[in-house]
Amino acid sequence: MRKLIDKLVFTICSLSTVLVLAILALIIIYILANGVLAINLDFFTKLPKPVGETGGGMVNGIIGSAIMVAIAALISIPISIGAAIYLSEFGKGYLAVIVRFLVDVLAGVPSIVIGIFIYTIVVLPMKRFSAIAGALALAIIMIPTIVRATEEALKLVPQTLREAALALGAPYWRVVLEIVVVSAHKAIISGVLLSIARVAGETAPLLFTALGNRFLVTVLDRPMASLPVQIYSYAVSPYDDWHSQAWAATFVLVMFILIINLAVRFFIYSKE
Partner 1 sequence: MEKKPLADTVVTDFSSILPPRKKSWLMSPSADSAFRYLTAGLAVFLLALVTALVVSMVYNSQLSLSRFGLSFVFSTTWDPVKEIFGALPFVYGTLVSSLIALIFAIPISLGVAIFLTEQCPYKLRPIVLTLVELLAAIPSVAYGLWGIFVLVPFMRNYINPFLEGTLGFLPLFKGPSYGIGLLTSGIILAVMIVPIITAIAVNSLTAVVPTQREAALALGATRWEAMQVVLLNARSGIIGGVILGLGRALGETMAVTMVIGNRPEIAVSLLAPAYTMASVIANEFTEATYDLYLHALIEIAILLFVITFIVQAMAQLLIRQISKGKTSYAKAN
Among 59, 79, 189, 216, binds partner 1 (CB under 8 A): 79
Other Cβ atoms less than 10 A from the Cβ of 264: the count is: 19
Among 49, 59, 152, 267, binds partner 1 (CB under 8 A): 152
**CB closer to partner 1, 57 vs 144:** 144
**CB closer to partner 1, 218 vs 259:** 259
**CB closer to partner 1, 71 vs 137:** 137
**CB closer to partner 1, 224 vs 246:** 246
184 to 223: interface string for partner 1, x by CB under 8 A = --x----------xx-xxxxx--xx--x------------
Q: Where in 127-146 is the site for partner 1 (CB under 8 A)? A: 140, 143-145
**CB closer to partner 1, 182 vs 218:** 182
Among 138, 193, 210, 253, binds partner 1 (CB under 8 A): 253
Q: Where in 15-74 is the site for partner 1 (CB under 8 A)? A: 15-17, 19-21, 23-24, 26-27, 30-31, 34
90 to 129: interface string for partner 1, x by CB under 8 A = xx---xx-xx-xxxxxxxxxxxxxx-xx-xxx--x-----
Other Cβ atoms less than 10 A from the Cβ of 127: the count is: 7
Is residue 92 within 8 Å of 136, Cβ to Cβ? Answer: no
- Residue 241 lies near partner 1 (rule: CB under 8 A): no
Write down the least CB distance from residue 30 to partner 1, Å.
6
Among 168, 219, 238, 270, binds partner 1 (CB under 8 A): 168
Mapped to the 3 state alphabet, what secondary structure does the chain carry? CHHHHHHHHHHHHHHHHHHHHHHHHHHHHHHHHHHHHHCCHHHHHCCECCCCCCCECCHHHHHHHHHHHHHHHHHHHHHHHHHHHHHHHHCCCHHHHHHHHHHHHHHHCCHHHHHHHHHHHHHHHHCCCCHHHHHHHHHHHHHHHHHHHHHHHHHHCCHHHHHHHHHCCCCHHHHHHHHHHHHCHHHHHHHHHHHHHHHHCCCHHHCCCCCCCCCCCCCCCCCCCCHHHHHHHHHCCCCHHHHHHHHHHHHHHHHHHHHHHHHHHHHHHCCC
**What does the radius of gyration of the chain's CA atoms come to, in whole angstroms?**
23
- Residue 169 lies near partner 1 (rule: CB under 8 A): yes
Write down the least CB distance from residue 51 to partner 1, Å.
18
**CB closer to partner 1, 67 vs 176:** 176
Q: Can you tell me the distance from the alpha carbon of 267 to that of 69, in angstroms, rounded to the nearest whole number?
A: 22
Q: Can you tell me the distance from the alpha carbon of 57 to that of 33, in angstroms, rounded to the nearest whole number?
A: 18
**CB closer to partner 1, 74 vs 164:** 164
Applying CB under 8 A, what is the total number of residues that bind partner 1? 111
Stretch that binds partner 1, among 37-45, 48-56, 58-66, 79-87 (CB under 8 A): 79-87
